[in-house]
Amino acid sequence: MFFLRRTPSSPRPLLGKIEVFSRHCIISKISQHKKRFTGYSREKCFQNLLSTLDRNESNLTLILDAFYGKSQEHFLSGYSNEKMISIQGGTEASSFLLLLDYIASLPLHPDTGIYVIEDDYLHRPGWIDVMREGFLVPGVDYVTLYDHCDKYFLPLYSKLSSRLFISPHSHWRTTPSTTNTFAVRFGTLLEDLSIHRRFSSKRLISADHQKFCYLKRRGRMLISPVPGWSTHCEVEYASPCLDWRPFLDQKE
């Protein structure tokens, strides 16, 4: 067990505000079959993000894939005070690649935290502080706030072993993979950019599981909190040990 202490040998903290990129689309053909929480909607997920986002600690950029419609048709049009970038992807993988291109073009310090979020996630209040703590775990390269429930019941993970860590507000475990909602230092993202592109190029859906398993083989370490500080809004795979339904009613 590792107990986090701020010592000269500890990893350097994230620099400045975390850059949050919230990715949306007009139509999501790949998620129409998913079983959702009662009362779920993508706008409620977005309202939860706004209600838990510390503006003193983060900058928010909205990425809207308007390939199958017009930006005015999406609920984000009602949030005109937020910074929004419109793209023409058409598929999950294409929109993720365009997002990567946009982020890579920004003049950011290598120690800036980057958090990319898909539009069907919920967060607990205080998640930004917890995310910063995660990046102080020695050796960490990627942080997810999602305690993916598949790690606890899929046969694929029946012999999974993890290293355990602790920070002031959370336990952490190493995990082999996560979704395309994750946090990373800007410098690390640039170093791994070709890998992220490889697992989305010429695909309809990014191969996120295979990507993070490959990054692990390349020596990258991904950690997730236990229990989770965010969840994908899919009933069977929600972060366990918490009732996430009340978070659907959080508003600014």
Looking at the structure of the chain, the number of domains it has is 1
Closest CA to 199 of 97, 63, 115: 97
The residue ranges of DSSP E strands in the chain, in sequence order, are 2-3, 18-25, 58-65, 83-87, 113-118, 121-123, 142-143, 164-167, 170-174, 182-185, 222-226, 230-232
CATH code, domain with 32: 3.90.550.10
Range of the domain at 113: 2-249
Residue-wise pLDDT for 5-49, tens only, equals 434 345 788 999 999 999 999 877 666 677 899 999 999 999 999
Segment 45-72 shows an average pLDDT of: 94
pLDDT of 8: 38
Residue-wise pLDDT for 129-174, tens only, equals 999 999 999 999 999 999 998 899 988 888 889 999 999 999 999 9
Predicted TM-score of the model (pTM): 0.92
| Higher-scoring residue by pLDDT: 82, 32 | 82
How many angstroms separate the Cα of 205 from the Cα of each of 13, 145, 202, 225?
33, 21, 9, 26
All residues at 6 or more sequence positions from 230 whose CB lies less than 8 Å from its CB, including other chains = 121, 122, 123, 124, 127, 144, 145, 146, 181, 239
pLDDT of 10: 56
